[in-house]
Structure 1
Amino acid sequence: MQQERIIKELQLRIALYEDVKAYSELYLLLFNGLHRFSYSVVRSREAAEEIVSDAFIKLWQVRGGLEKVDNLKVYLYVITKNLSLNYHARTAKKQLVQLDQIDVETIIEVKSPEDIYISNEIINKVRQAVCQLPPQCRIIFQLVKEDGLKYKEVAGILNLSVLTVRNQLAIAIKKISEALPLQYRSLLHFHDRFSTS
């Protein structure tokens, strides 16, 4: 994947040369996904923005050791998850949030001419179906299908097995598919765009 190659290049520029421009590029590349992920835990856009900024500050503080990090994107998601859970624990004065308590903000972007062809009605039906998913299915769907993470990466971030991630994603896809009328499923090429393989 091209994004992985770009992230690896930026990672090396930051680690070896303390390249501030590479650091800024990495921030811009990953901010939206990390912000959406943090928001799903803390339910505050401002807090999520601050948490993502803090995650990047932590990254800069350990920049000399970044060469040893195998997957920088997952590394940042784990930092963001931990900061988000800590924030939630501090502000809620409760025990740490469980995955079943997390409400994921759903964002479906129109990206290609084929996507533009799909009517707003269909996109709204998909959004509604995603919102109806159980919390764990929603967050896994978001990380895999919207943020482009691999099953193994999601499993590492959420402390789940790869099999659990695969099964939860299959449940999500099945429920979304069932929520759409048959004629819309073929129009969406649903199995091509959201297949679990």
Structure 2
Amino acid sequence: MKEKSIIADLQQKIALYEDMNAYRALYELLNERLFWFVYSFVKSREAAEEIVSDVFIKLWTIRNELPSIANLQVYLYVIAKNFSKNYIIREYKYPHVCLDEIPLDATTSVNPEELYISAEMAGRINHAIRELPPQCRLIFQMAREHGLKHQEVADILGISRITVRNQLTIAARKIAQSVYPHLQPAAAKQQSRC
């Protein structure tokens, strides 16, 4: 039995019979993948575990609506992405840092100008990614940031592998167009120092 039909079967059992065994089986099937998907956004094991738990709690609370969901796996990924985004926004507004997590390396000297340029460039790249059309951005994040193969992305989103490849090409082109004008002044500075 293909995974998609297994998920559909579990979805039906959860929706119609409130079957806890089906719920557990779905959790076992998707938990690890959702964890790594969320972790790639939040960069914290504890937060990723909590968010994935929240995703499955949300699934249980909306179990009566499950028959209307065409692709449950994609639906759960979207919930996970939204919960991750909300977590990141909360962390940005109210950051907390554990001093034990800050690396201390006295032997590394950081050039403030290079640090500023790399932070600025990272900001430009992130801005370019945020400006991508929604599906293009999701495909880019799943493939590039989360390391999913093109076929895996296609299967999750229910689209063809060629569409994934085309969307990644569009994303790369748009990001390059957004970042390229800012690279030339930095390259000129580097050459003038030599």
TM-score by length of 1: 0.56
Helix, strand or coil for the counterpart of 1:142?
coil
Given that 1:74 and 1:153 are in contact with CA atoms closer than 8 Å, whether structure 2 keeps it comes out as yes
Cα RMSD (Å): 3.4
Matches of residues 159-178 of structure 1 in structure 2 within 5 Å?
A: 165-167=164-166
* Letter paired with 2:26: L
Q: Shift in Å at residue 141 of structure 1? A: 4.4
Does residue 152 of structure 2 align to residue 153 of structure 1?
no
Helix, strand or coil for the counterpart of 2:148?
helix
Q: Shift in Å at residue 92 of structure 1? A: 1.8
Given that 2:12 and 2:67 are in contact with CA atoms closer than 8 Å, whether structure 1 keeps it comes out as yes
Which residue number corresponds to residue 29 of structure 1?
Answer: 29
Q: 2:145 aligns with which of 129, 139, 151?
A: 139
Distance 1:72 1:151, change over 3 A: closer
Does residue 21 of structure 2 align to residue 15 of structure 1?
no
Gaps of 5+ in 2: 96-125, 131-139, 171-194
Q: Shift in Å at residue 167 of structure 1? A: 3.0
Distance in 1, Cα, partners of 2:14 & 2:35 = 21
Q: Shift in Å at residue 169 of structure 1? A: 5.0
* Letter paired with 2:16: L
Which residue number corresponds to residue 90 of structure 2?
Answer: 90
Gaps of 5+ in 1: 103-133, 156-161, 172-197
Helix, strand or coil for the counterpart of 1:35?
helix
Q: Any idea what the Cα deviations from partners look like across 1:112-166, whole Å, max 9, x if unmatched? A: xxxxxxxxxxxxxxxxxxxxxx967513741645xx24267188xxxxxx97732
Given that 1:136 and 1:168 are in contact with CA atoms closer than 8 Å, whether structure 2 keeps it comes out as no
Given that 1:144 and 1:150 are in contact with CA atoms closer than 8 Å, whether structure 2 keeps it comes out as yes
* Structure 1 segments of 4+ aligned residues over 4 angstroms from their partners: 98-102, 134-137, 168-171
Distance in 1, Cα, partners of 2:74 & 2:127 = 18
Distance in 1, Cα, partners of 2:36 & 2:49 = 9
Distance in 1, Cα, partners of 2:142 & 2:26 = 28
* Structure with more helix by fraction: 2
Distance 1:165 1:151, change over 3 A: farther
Which residue number corresponds to residue 80 of structure 1?
Answer: 80
Given that 1:137 and 1:168 are in contact with CA atoms closer than 8 Å, whether structure 2 keeps it comes out as no
Q: How many residues align?
A: 130
Distance in 2, Cα, partners of 1:58 & 1:84 = 14
Given that 1:140 and 1:169 are in contact with CA atoms closer than 8 Å, whether structure 2 keeps it comes out as no
- Matched-pair identity in %: 49
Structure with the greater alpha carbon radius of gyration: 2
Which residue number corresponds to residue 64 of structure 2?
Answer: 64
* Letter paired with 2:88: H
Does residue 38 of structure 2 align to residue 38 of structure 1?
yes
